């Protein structure tokens, strides 16, 4: 493809089959970056599943342990021993929003029982627009979600990271008087499950500090979980906090005033300190990538502020777009840094890679919506099942089914596209996609068990 054709190429769309076809015809070399190379390659037809496949992801691997001090690369195998997603099924163009009367079955897995909450056919006590989907049994969701299992589970390592994270939070001053929330959520366990390529507590802690700083923005400023939510101030707080994400450098006479505001705010201190610490383990460009993702996340938080202030209930399309921006991507973007390698920036920024990566990101946060239904009870605590129930006028059980279907569509698309990208990209890209796949599986496992979503109070 010529440079001009590439520059003028249309943005990626949701035409999976076309995209996979295009990927497979742009370059067969397994080591060539997807965005590089002037020579028109020979078309290479798909030869069927070539990776290790989802079933291989069930094998716990130790081979993927972190190369301890590599900051730029150094991997034993193209995926660092991690299973790579395999397009066992290339999804057909799916109906994202199934008709209310006859929803199709879940994309890959049997939908199983419909006994999530009230039994089908039971009398309804409230109109559909007022219903709140109940939390689905975790075991049932785990079976129905198209998602790999966690690659490893090392509870002691997770506990170590959580304990050190609590100490850090206390030092910084986030979650004052509520440090138990951090212990209960067990964020160290999330990092242990989601970054199986590293068994180094320091690296996992670096990722955990970033994640907790990000969560603290939500819990302190947006959701009202730690401080009272003040939607009218949200834009102002986020803008000032962003001056830490992308350091504002004011003229000397004014800089101290900004610094005073920043240092007085625990969330801003947490963001600054976690990013500073990350530099120990990540390259400058990896940290810059995270700074960019946080800017996007802040835009989405501002949107939530608008929803709260205006009493706006987003339609499903708008909420899904919001979840593209407000997802776990800021955590996932660190997979290579924490594992000790680096995907070339040209490949990371390639729209096809970006598309696959962000589809996986949205899928992770839909998992969050499903597992956090019991926790999200306030009138502006929107979630995908809840909004679908309202918009489609369907039962909570049906809304959960549709949410699972949307999640599975995203994951199947990621799986197919990641496999095609892996076949045409560099070893680092291949590994990055495998690391992403592992992150998604570890995150689902954490959501299924974390005290953040499964407290006795929520069950009541
Ligand atoms: C770790 C991280 C990127 C956090 C910022 C975004 C965030 C809090 C989520 C993606 C989770 O969504 P939600 O606000 O629904 O979180 P909880 O269910 O309250 O954990």
- What pLDDT does 314 receive? 98
Is 272 within 8 Å of 248 (Cβ atoms)? no
**Length of the chain as a residue count:** 460
Classify the phi-psi angles of 37: left when phi > 0, otherwise alpha if psi is within -120 to 50, otherwise beta: left
For residue 200, give every residue at least 6 positions away whose Cβ sits within 8 Å of its Cβ, in sequence order, or none: 66, 68
Is 41 within 8 Å of 29 (Cβ atoms)? yes
Give the position, in ligand 1's atom list, of the atom nearest the Cα of 222: 14
Domain boundaries, the chain: 137-448
Cα–Cα distances (Å) from 311 to 223, 235, 408, 441, in that order, read 14, 16, 31, 35
Give the position, in ligand 1's atom list, of the atom nearest the Cα of 217: 5
Least confident span in 119-128, 186-195, 447-456: 119-128
Among 445, 422, 449, CA closest to 86: 422
CB-CB neighbours of 139 under 10 Å = 9
Sign of CA dihedral 253, 255, 257, 263: negative
Verify whether ligand 1 is closer than 6 Å to residue 199 (CB atom): no
Domain at 137-448: CATH code: 1.10.600.10
Q: What's the mean pLDDT in 326-354?
A: 98
The residue ranking higher by pLDDT, 377 or 319, is: 319
Verify whether ligand 1 is closer than 6 Å to residue 368 (CB atom): yes
The residue ranking higher by pLDDT, 142 or 10, is: 142
pLDDT in tens, 55-80: 333 332 333 444 433 333 334 467 77
For the cut 80, the answer to whether the pLDDT of residue 339 exceeds it is yes
Is 267 within 8 Å of 241 (Cβ atoms)? yes
Verify whether ligand 1 is closer than 6 Å to residue 365 (CB atom): yes
Least confident span in 57-71, 271-285, 286-300, 385-399: 57-71
- What pLDDT does 406 receive? 98
Enter the tokens of residue 394: 């369907």
- What pLDDT does 346 receive? 97
CA 122 centroid distance within chain: 35
Give the position, in ligand 1's atom list, of the atom nearest the Cα of 212: 1
- What pLDDT does 6 receive? 44
- What pLDDT does 136 receive? 55
ipTM: 0.95
Four-point Cα dihedral 308, 229, 303, 245, nearest 10: 180
Among 428, 425, 405, 412, CA closest to 352: 425
**Is the whole-model pTM more than 0.80?**
no
For the cut 70, the answer to whether the pLDDT of residue 318 exceeds it is yes
Least confident span in 91-105, 210-224, 259-273: 91-105
DSSP classification of residue 113: -
pLDDT band at 228 (very low <50, low <70, confident <90, very high): confident
Ligand 1 centroid to 214 CA: how many Å?
Answer: 8
Average pLDDT of the chain, as a whole number:
79
């Amino acid at each position: 493809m010529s440079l001009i054709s590439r520059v003028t190429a249309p943005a990626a769309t949701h035409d999976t089959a076309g995209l996979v076809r295009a990927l497979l015809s742009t370059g067969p070399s397994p080591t060539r970056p997807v965005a590089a190379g002037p020579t028109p390659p020979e078309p290479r037809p798909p030869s069927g599943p070539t990776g290790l496949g989802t079933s291989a992801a069930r094998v716990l691997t130790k081979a993927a342990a972190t190369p301890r001090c590599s900051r730029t690369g150094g991997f034993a195998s193209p995926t660092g021993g991690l299973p790579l997603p395999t397009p066992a099924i290339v999804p057909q163009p799916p109906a994202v929003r199934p008709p209310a009367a006859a929803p199709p079955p879940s994309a890959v897995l049997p939908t199983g029982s419909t006994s999530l909450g009230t039994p089908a056919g039971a009398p309804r006590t409230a109109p559909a627009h007022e219903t709140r989907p109940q939390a689905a049994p975790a075991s049932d969701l785990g079976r129905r979600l198209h998602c790999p299992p966690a690659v490893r589970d090392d509870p002691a390592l997770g506990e170590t990271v959580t304990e050190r994270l609590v100490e850090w939070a206390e030092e910084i001053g986030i979650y004052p008087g509520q440090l138990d929330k951090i212990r209960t959520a067990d964020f160290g366990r999330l990092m242990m499950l989601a970054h199986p390529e590293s068994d180094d507590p320091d690296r996992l802690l670096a990722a955990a500090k970033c994640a907790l700083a990000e969560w603290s923005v939500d819990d302190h400023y947006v959701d009202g979980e730690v401080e009272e939510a003040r939607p009218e101030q949200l834009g102002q707080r986020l803008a000032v906090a962003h001056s830490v994400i992308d350091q504002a450098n004011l003229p000397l006479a004014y800089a101290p005033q900004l610094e005073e505001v920043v240092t007085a705010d625990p969330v801003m201190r947490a963001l600054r300190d976690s990013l500073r610490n990350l530099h120990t383990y990540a390259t400058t460009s990896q940290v810059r990538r995270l700074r960019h993702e946080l800017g996007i996340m802040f835009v989405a938080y501002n949107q939530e502020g608008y929803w709260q202030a205006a009493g706006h209930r987003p339609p499903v399309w708008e909420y899904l777009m919001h979840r593209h921006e407000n997802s776990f991507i800021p955590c996932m973007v660190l997979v290579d840094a924490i594992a000790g390698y680096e995907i070339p920036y040209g490949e990371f920024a390639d729209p096809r890679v970006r598309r696959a990566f962000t589809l996986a990101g949205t899928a992770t946060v839909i998992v969050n919506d499903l597992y956090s239904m019991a926790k999200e009870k306030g009138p502006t605590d929107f979630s995908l099942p809840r909004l679908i129930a309202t918009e489609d006028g369907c039962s909570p059980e049906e809304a959960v089914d549709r949410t699972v279907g949307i999640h599975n569509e995203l994951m199947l698309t990621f799986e197919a596209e990641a496999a095609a990208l892996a076949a045409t990209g560099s070893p680092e890209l291949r590994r990055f996609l495998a690391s992403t796949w592992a992150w998604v599986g570890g995150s689902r496992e954490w959501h299924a068990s974390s005290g953040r979503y499964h407290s006795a109070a929520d069950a009541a």
